[in-house]
Structure 1
Amino acid sequence: MPHRYILFYKPFNVLSQFSDRDPNAPERQTLKDYISVPSVYSVGRLDRDSEGLLLLTDDRKLKYRLGERKFAHPRTYWVQVERIPDAEALERLRRGVTIQNYRTRPAQVQQLIDEPILPPRNPPIRYRKNVPTAWLELTLTEGRNRQVRRMTAAVGFPTLRLVRVAIAHLRLDGLEPGRWRDLSPREIKPFWR
């Protein structure tokens, strides 16, 4: 039986798992509210307060390959931060920063000139009249828990909104929040090079 590979646009406030393991938490949405394909699991995670591209599969070898640091598959995020980062902060992100006694790998970082076109978030981010925001495009080759948020905070620019727009060559283009599609063999093949 062939493997399944699913590309999903995870909305804000949805857990990256099929069940909520916290019995004391108020009812929260999970992947099962959107995807009814049996035996697929997410490759990596997005925090509940993050949005964007999530890959799901039943292919254990691919899941291992994408999760293992030595393969260094890039993940690209659009990050709205509080205030306007200066050149020094961007350079620190590029070189890598220390978060929780760990030095991150160097990252590709650029400030976006225009705000990216994204569906509105519900609820919207907090708006502060006297505090400007900026959008960054940040590409990492590792994925630790809340890493992007910790990195931007470490250089003095807290993350307000975080959207993963790409995993390697796969992009969010054409998907709306809460929607998914199967990947073709041609889209999976580059992961094995």
Structure 2
Amino acid sequence: MVDPLVFVIVACEVGFWVVLGSGLLARYALNMRRLGAALLVCTPVVDVVLLVATVFDLRSGGEATTAHGLAAVYLGVSVAFGHSMLRWADQRVAHRFAGGPPPVKPPRKGPERVRHEWREWGKFAIAWAIACGVMLLLMHVVGTPERTQALWGQMSGMTLVGGIWLLGWPVYHSVVEAVAAGRRSARR
């Protein structure tokens, strides 16, 4: 049987994109800038709904499952990456439907690429901190360590992902740029 919280998580994800799409539609297609802005500002409400549902589920005697950890991860990622996701969507819709400038693309190489990779990983670090903080809060709410073991696994998994991301992107691009800078310096 599927955990009911999984349905709440899916509904919140769908709700996020519906609110985002409605905000962009109001802003660009209907030329209702204030309504569009108000809808876009409401996207965090989806996160609050998910957090309340998660706490309610655990307070009613449920055992913490992977779904509860996933809800915390979703919340962390939404808070840390939400603004850049909104900006990403807004740039594309503005360009496509409102004659806006082309979307900004990430730099391909050089120090700008290194800064970009560290900034994106920094967002992950914020998401990790929020998700782990929420999971620790959920552990406190439950109060019984035996009922929260799955959350420790979620924190470990997210930490592993962060380590792989750190080495595979920011550190890798920093090393590549340092080698390239050394070669440029040697040629002078």
Normalising by structure 2, we get a TM-score of: 0.21
Higher helix fraction (1 or 2): 2
